[in-house]
Amino acid sequence: MRIVCNIILILLLPFICLSQERTAPLYYNARVHAAAVQNIMPLAKTTTAQDTIQLPFFDDFTTYNIFPDNTRWTDNEVYVNNTMGVDPPTRGVATLDALDAHGIPYDTSDNSHLLFADSLTSVPIDLGSLTPGDSVYISFFYQPQGYGFYPLTADSLLLFLHKNNNDWREVWAIPGSTLTPFTQVMIPVADTVFFYKGFQFRFVNMSAFNYSGSQWNIDYVRMNKNRNMYDTAINDVTFTNDPSFLLNDYTYMPYRQFLANISGERATRHSDTFQNYTNASQTIPYSFTARETTTNTFLAAAGPTSITVPAYTEQGVSYPMYTATIPSPGMYKKVVFENTYYLQSPASDTNKVNDTIVREQVFDNYLAYDDGTAEQSYFLDLFPTLPGYLAIEYHLNQPDTMRGMAIYFGRQVPIPTLKTFSLFVYSKLQGIDGAANNDSLYWQEGFGPGYADTINHFWVYKFDQPVPLPAGTFYAGVFMPAFSGSDSLYFGLDMNRIGGNHAYYSVLDAWNSSSVSGAIMIRPVLGQPISGTEVPPVNKREAEWTLSPNPAHDRLQLKASGVQVGGSGYMVTDIYGKTLLTGALSSDNTINISTLQPGMYFVRLVSNSNIGTAKKFIKE
């Protein structure tokens, strides 16, 4: 049998090496969830027909807020961002998916349940003085997938209009598809039932939990009178994407490491992109200024310089990298350079908000290739009996001390709370750059994945011992052991960082260069001692307990050895960790699960003296 298995493994080896890297949806929006947990999410707006606005209506989502502008929209379910759209008409899009206003899936129990997911509803608009003869149109741009996952044909994006009898009418829909350029849609408002004080329109996507990474992006929503189906010109000159980082390869690094090799770390130029959406060539003045934010120290400025941009043309512009720096404020102090870019659009362009854009270059206590946002998840598709290694290559310009790692984990199925992994630091990887062997500098076991509801959403792991590192290359990464359920940890993947990701993976004792585009979100933390992400204290004494029957229909019976379970509390969660049922066990040590939908769940036993390990069960 062993010989047969080895032959099969050898035959499969070429396919294993080619197919072990995978990407997956996030199944979770950390930025939105953190805002909800920290109570900084604005309340959904309650409006009446008296709270109306006048035409024109416009929003191109040019903002640094992740929620819709509540002077234009009444709900908070979509995610406003500048990372999910591919070549959007203007900077900023509204993303609709199957994640709710708290950043978690709407339905975690039925993976085939097709439901109305996100809504984007306008505030009431006064159309009472208008008629169909005023030729009112709604226009917008949409894009399936973006940098996320494409919606299948069963998914769809829809537009509804609110009638004067308080009903909604569907007036437009498009089935899911793979990535396409942003497409503009023109919708006439032609029925008399829409012309009243209090009219609203609403975008909705239909999606299923199985495809909660499926996304639609919306941009440049306009509504006005005296339009027609050919009124597609935007008549705007606007920034379309974020400016570049100031660094050549890293996105973020410690300031002391930057000062040790300024010419090597700094990009030769920095750049931005804008678009002329008018029907004529425009001569556009553009400029930038730079300052250090803590001291407000002036760093550099350029322009205004003018460039002539043909009609309907995107124009990239760049500036020579400025040489101004500030003296180090301290070996371990955070430093932020703020670059602000400007363009002067024509007088006929009434939308001036998107004529300014800011990029912060942060120097802090970590090394990173990512920009802090995840659009997908990265994982290794391994056999349960084989361990896996994931290593990211970094470099130092002067000796430093590594104190731990910060990791952005993607949510996954099944829930990974019981998985374990190790962290390591190597100076060499066998077979990479001619290295004969792996050279281990540090190894620490016993970690578990976490999902931080903090401002940067990384879970920080503190090393037991500091790791002194010389100048030069090192590799920091994660080891996922076999037979532990840890062979498929999901890591955040920043899809906006196109190009070499400095990542290597190993299965069957061979290191391979990653072929996945994007930056895997693992960051070495350097410098002074750090604190790991706080974990709620738990009593390590665990009760050995079982549950039956499994699968179960209406009730679960719990039994524990050596302890009394009577009077203990219980907590039932779905596969995403969302708590669905809590309470105290009944006198017969059972839990009523009749209200749960069929599917897979986890139950944890909790008492004053012990906390039981989570157990999986199936609800029939």
Last residue of a domain, one of 331, 363, 395: 363
Q: Which of the pair, 133 or 206, is modelled with greater confidence?
A: 133
> Residue 334: is it exposed, middle or buried by C-beta count within 10 angstroms (0-12/13-18/19+)?
middle
Across all residues in the chain, what is the average pLDDT? Answer: 84
Report yes or no on 29 lying in a domain. no
Q: What is the pLDDT of residue 241?
A: 86
Report yes or no on 88 lying in a domain. yes
Q: Are residues 605 and 559 in the same domain?
A: yes
> Residue 365: is it exposed, middle or buried by C-beta count within 10 angstroms (0-12/13-18/19+)?
buried
Q: What is the pLDDT of residue 20?
A: 84
pLDDT tier at 456, thresholds 50, 70, 90: low
Q: What is the pLDDT of residue 229?
A: 94
> Residue 19: is it exposed, middle or buried by C-beta count within 10 angstroms (0-12/13-18/19+)?
exposed
Question: Residue 7 pLDDT > 50, yes or no?
Answer: no
Q: Are residues 244 and 224 in the same domain?
A: no
Report yes or no on 373 lying in a domain. no
pLDDT tens digit string along 254-280? 999 999 999 999 999 999 999 999 889
Q: Which of the pair, 111 or 384, is modelled with greater confidence?
A: 384
Q: Are residues 47 and 195 in the same domain?
A: yes
Q: Which domain holds residue 600?
A: 544-619
Report yes or no on 155 lying in a domain. yes
The CATH number of whichever domain residue 594 belongs to comes to: 2.60.40.3580
Secondary structure percentages of the chain, helix, strand, coil, to 5: 10, 45, 50
Report yes or no on 30 lying in a domain. no
> Residue 21: is it exposed, middle or buried by C-beta count within 10 angstroms (0-12/13-18/19+)?
middle
Question: Rounded to an integer, what is the distance from CA 452 to the centroid of its chain?
Answer: 13
Q: What is the pLDDT of residue 111?
A: 53
Q: Are residues 355 and 416 in the same domain?
A: no
Q: What is the pLDDT of residue 209?
A: 57
Q: Are residues 328 and 396 in the same domain?
A: no
Last residue of a domain, one of 198, 232, 266: 232
Q: Are residues 51 and 194 in the same domain?
A: yes
Q: What is the pLDDT of residue 527?
A: 95
Establish how many alpha carbons lie within 13 A of residue 213's alpha carbon, considering only the half-sphere containing its beta carbon.
Answer: 19
Q: What is the pLDDT of residue 16?
A: 35
Q: Are residues 255 and 349 in the same domain?
A: yes
Q: Which of the pair, 582 or 87, is modelled with greater confidence?
A: 87
DSSP state of 73: B
Q: What is the pLDDT of residue 416?
A: 59
Q: What is the pLDDT of residue 12?
A: 34
Report yes or no on 371 lying in a domain. no
Last residue of a domain, one of 170, 198, 232: 232
Report yes or no on 535 lying in a domain. no
Q: What is the pLDDT of residue 614?
A: 63
Q: Are residues 452 and 475 in the same domain?
A: yes
DSSP reduced 3-state for 32: helix
The phi and psi torsions of 591 (rounded to 5 degrees) equal -125, 130
Reported pTM: 0.80
Q: Which among 111, 186, 115, 198 has a CA at the least distance from the CA of 156?
A: 115
The CATH number of whichever domain residue 478 belongs to comes to: 2.60.120
pLDDT tens digit string along 166-220? 999 999 999 999 999 999 999 999 999 999 999 999 999 988 655 456 899 999 9
Q: What is the pLDDT of residue 349?
A: 78
Q: Are residues 391 and 343 in the same domain?
A: no
Percent of the chain at pLDDT exceeding 70:
83
- What is the amino acid identity at position 599? G
Supply the Cα-derived Rg of the chain in whole angstroms. Answer: 27
Question: Residue 355 pLDDT > 50, yes or no?
Answer: yes
Q: Which of the pair, 419 or 374, is modelled with greater confidence?
A: 374
Question: Residue 517 pLDDT > 70, yes or no?
Answer: yes
Report which listed range, 34-38, 160-164, 379-383, 573-577, is most confident. 160-164
Question: Residue 385 pLDDT > 80, yes or no?
Answer: no
Are the C-beta atoms of 105 and 97 separated by less than 8 Å? no
Indicate the range of 10-14, 305-309, 450-454 predicted with least confidence.
10-14
Question: Residue 410 pLDDT > 50, yes or no?
Answer: yes
Percent of the chain at pLDDT exceeding 90:
53
Cα angle: 603, vertex 605, 607; to 5 degrees: 155
> Which tokens sit at 581?
């049922």
Q: Give kind and range of the element (H or E) at residue 220.
A: strand 216-224
Report yes or no on 403 lying in a domain. yes
Spell out the SS3 assignment of 394-438: EEECCCEEEEEEEECECCCCCCCCCCCEEEEEEEECCCCCCCCCC
Q: Are residues 151 and 250 in the same domain?
A: no
Q: Give kind and range of the element (H or E) at residue 5.
A: helix 2-19
Q: How many CB atoms lie within 10 A of CB 225?
A: 15
Are the C-beta atoms of 341 and 355 separated by less than 8 Å? no
DSSP state of 82: S
Indicate the range of 46-55, 228-237, 326-335, 460-469 predicted with least confidence.
46-55
The CATH number of whichever domain residue 279 belongs to comes to: 2.60.40.10
pLDDT tens digit string along 143-171? 999 998 888 888 899 999 999 999 999 99
* The total number of structural domains that make up the chain: 4
> Residue 542: is it exposed, middle or buried by C-beta count within 10 angstroms (0-12/13-18/19+)?
middle
Q: Which among 267, 251, 243, 245 has a CA at the least distance from the CA of 342?
A: 243
Q: Are residues 61 and 201 in the same domain?
A: yes
Q: Are residues 53 and 174 in the same domain?
A: yes
Name residues whose C-beta falls within 8 Å of residue 40's C-beta, 6 or more positions apart in sequence.
none
